[in-house]
Amino acid sequence: MRINKRYTAFFLSTILSVATGISVQAQTKDGITPKFISSDQASQIRLEGDGKPFTPPNLGRSAKPNEGGTRGIPTGIDNRIPMLSRRYPWSAIGRVQGTTADAKSYHCTGSLISDNLVLTNAHCVIDPETGEFSKRIQFMPNVIDKRYEDIAEVEQVIYGTDFKDGNTINPNDWAIMKINQPLGRKYGHLGWKAIPTETLTKNSKAFFFVGYSKDFPTDKYKRYFTAGQGWTASYEAGCSIIDEKAGFLLHDCSTAGGSSGGAIIGVINGDPYIVALNNAEAKNLRTGQDIANFAVKVSTIQEALLRKK
């Protein structure tokens, strides 16, 4: 991958892997081709939503992501556990399913942040190597073992970067997708809030992460699911924001391909808020182990949206 020279020392002895989870399965059904708008042009449209969370009155809330059936899964065999709850806030997190310009299928993770807006990564809608836009993107909230009630088509995308600056790992790697159904009314939506990095790093192990990782369910969990990996989200508690480097936040949540666009969430005054957006990981070339994981700052997104207004 191409890396800007000013990041070279920081990424010494690592390989940066963007967690897209691209496969070669072709999509055959026609769908909506999204309209893509750069963040510099974002003032041309009005984004609904005030950044506050919303719980549908008839849905109910749960602090337990595995509420609603444990499937006999034992506890303590992995730091991550399956997200099995159909209640809020778990209901607002879903799988982003895309089709590339050359008809390949891939998936990421996204979160409802308004009635019809989903937050994810730019590299989940734009190929960072070629700069080509995805020709079809869908959002399926609250997918559990490939079971879901609704699927929405993405009509419009505002993106923070098109990767033309040569950095495939980019601190502006965010996208807000407008979907063709107001699913946030049914499933709720998360709040999102810019919090100073110093405050985030002081609150060690205070955050949690949910993502449709391509390595989950792991071998110890596989027998409890039928759909295969990437079709049930994993939940990890006790995550930390470790530091800020070169415009990125560094975090220690467990991530893999497919978890791109997943929200790092903190509970503020009893409500869930997105405090950072997972977007990439650095691995040791020799061992293959994660050295650090990267996240987009919420303030980066908000500042970009306000810049031209």
Q: Which pLDDT does position 62 carry in this prediction?
A: 83
Q: Which pLDDT does position 168 carry in this prediction?
A: 83
Assess contact for 276 and 120: CB atoms under 8 A: no
- Select from 123, 117, 115, 116 the least CA-distant residue to 98: 123
What phi, psi does 252 have (nearest 5°)? -115, 15
Q: Which pLDDT does position 28 carry in this prediction?
A: 38
Low-confidence ranges of the chain (pLDDT < 70): 1-30, 42-49, 67-78, 283-291, 307-309
For the segment(s) 12-42+51-57+79-306, the CATH number from 2.40.10.10, 2.70.180.20, 1.10.10.10, 2.40.50.140 is 2.40.10.10
Assess contact for 265 and 200: CB atoms under 8 A: no
pTM: 0.85
Coil, helix or strand at residue 128? coil
Count CB-CB contacts under 10 A for residue 270. 8
Q: Which pLDDT does position 21 carry in this prediction?
A: 37
Whole-angstrom Cα distance, residue 278 to residue 97?
17
Whole-angstrom Cα distance, residue 228 to residue 64?
23
- Select from 145, 90, 68, 157 the least CA-distant residue to 118: 157
Q: Domain ranges for the chain, please list them.
A: 12-42+51-57+79-306
